[in-house]
Structure 1
Amino acid sequence: MENEPLIDDALKSELSALYRAQGRHYHNLAHIEAMLALAGDYRGLLGDPEAIEAAIWFHDAIYDSKAKDNEAQSAALAEKKLAGRANPSRLNRISAMIVATATHQVPPFEDAAATRDASLFLDMDLSILGAAPDAFDAYE
């Protein structure tokens, strides 16, 4: 269980299809790839890089511009798809990080490394706001 990757190629393909759906302007595969690149850049600072990768892949998986519970739905999908791949506490951390993208408030983890990971993850999600003007304009 613990030595197989959290996000394997089959899951990447399945999630990529969701991010390629019609009507996705920002919450698309380019956003995921940008976040994955940042996670790679900061890998040395992350306590659980694989959990961050999983949170990135799932955080916008469910997206309906009219819905108010996209993050909770995305977290539920992560819990379902990652069941058996991660222990319950790791799964709870991943889920909490995904839900936190609704408000960008860091979840109240007791573990300092998990708190730092969540902070970095949320910063990665908002990194477009500090991007070069042309990149930001494309996002807008």
Structure 2
Amino acid sequence: MAATPSQPAPADLPTRWSSTVATVRDMDRDMDRDMDGDAARDTAGDQPSPHPYADDLLARWSEPHRRYHTVDHLRAVLDRIDVLEQYADDPALVRLAAWFHDAVYLPDRSTNEERSARLAERALRELGIEESRTAEVARLVRLTVGHDPAAGDANGEVLCDADLAILASPPETYAAYAAAVREEYGFVPDDAFRQGRAAVLRHLLDLPTLFRTPYGREHWEDRARRNLATELELLTD
């Protein structure tokens, strides 16, 4: 059961969700017509409205225990996908994955991505989205566990770059992000948090590249590495 939103979501987000669902449904109908010709049935009138699903997702993203993984983060990821969409094979599926990628978020659990992926599978099937597209969205959600898409995984590269773009923020924005993450883990003692967070930062800095799209590498890589190195230095001082 989703929590009651702690604050109203931006008014444009339900429209963006409905538009994305409509795009994917159009893709499904085009595929059906290609396969069945004139015999294909237009099922648009039989499919449930996407609006209640937007309400449920936005309620999840607005849960009061969230500090960084909020509606603002969702909106930022969607905006970055808009910037990167030329690199994706299926931008609409990447956008659906963004909606679900932190829809289940409890900081003391390690199963958030898996539970979010299962939520995506259930919701998209109810919405009548074709099974292979539903599976792709769930795969992308699961990919955000490690943000390490395989070479040539265009959809995965766009989603992971969009999700990690916060790392390339101006220093003051990055500091606010780091503080929000600490708030989400407020139940963790300082020493344990510093140790765990430092391990995450070292893992990211050890990656050959943080960003996989040409845009991400050109515009975000250097600043992100500087921010990560600065935070790591502060944590280990």
Q: TM-score range, shorter-chain basis?
A: 0.7 to 0.9
Kept in 1: contact 2:149–2:156 (CA 8 A): yes
With the length of structure 2 as denominator, give the TM-score of the two structures: 0.52
Larger Rg: 2
Cα distance in 2 between the residues matched to 1:138 and 1:50 = 30
Shift, 1:44, TM fit: 2.7
Letter in 1 for 2:84: Y
Letter in 2 for 1:116: A
Q: Which has the higher contact order (CA 8 A, sep 6+)?
A: 1
Equivalence for 1:102: 145
Match of 1:129 among 146, 153, 167: 167
Letter in 2 for 1:2: R
Which deviations, in whole Å up to 9, do the C-alpha atoms of 1:51-110 show, x marking residues without a partner?
Answer: 1111000000001111110000000000000005322221111111101111112158xx
Cα distance in 2 between the residues matched to 1:133 and 1:67 = 29
Match of 1:8 among 33, 50, 53: 50
Kept in 1: contact 2:88–2:155 (CA 8 A): yes
Equivalence for 1:45: 87
Kept in 2: contact 1:96–1:107 (CA 8 A): no
Match of 2:156 among 105, 118, 138: 118
Shift, 1:43, TM fit: 2.5
Which deviations, in whole Å up to 9, do the C-alpha atoms of 1:101-121 show, x marking residues without a partner?
Answer: 11112158xxx5xx1111111
With the length of structure 1 as denominator, give the TM-score of the two structures: 0.86
Match of 1:78 among 120, 142, 160: 120
Cα distance in 2 between the residues matched to 1:35 and 1:135 = 15
Count of matched residue pairs: 134
Unaligned stretches of 5+ residues in structure 2 = 1-23, 27-43, 179-237
Cα distance in 1 between the residues matched to 2:81 and 2:169 = 16
Where is the helix percentage greater, Structure 1 or Structure 2? 2
Kept in 2: contact 1:71–1:98 (CA 8 A): yes
Find the residue that maps to 1:126 and give its secondary structure: helix
Letter in 2 for 1:105: D
Find the residue that maps to 1:135 and give its secondary structure: helix
Cα distance in 2 between the residues matched to 1:44 and 1:123 = 13
Percent identity between matched residues is: 28
Q: 1:70 to 1:76 in 2, by over 3 A?
A: same
Cα distance in 1 between the residues matched to 2:147 and 2:86 = 23
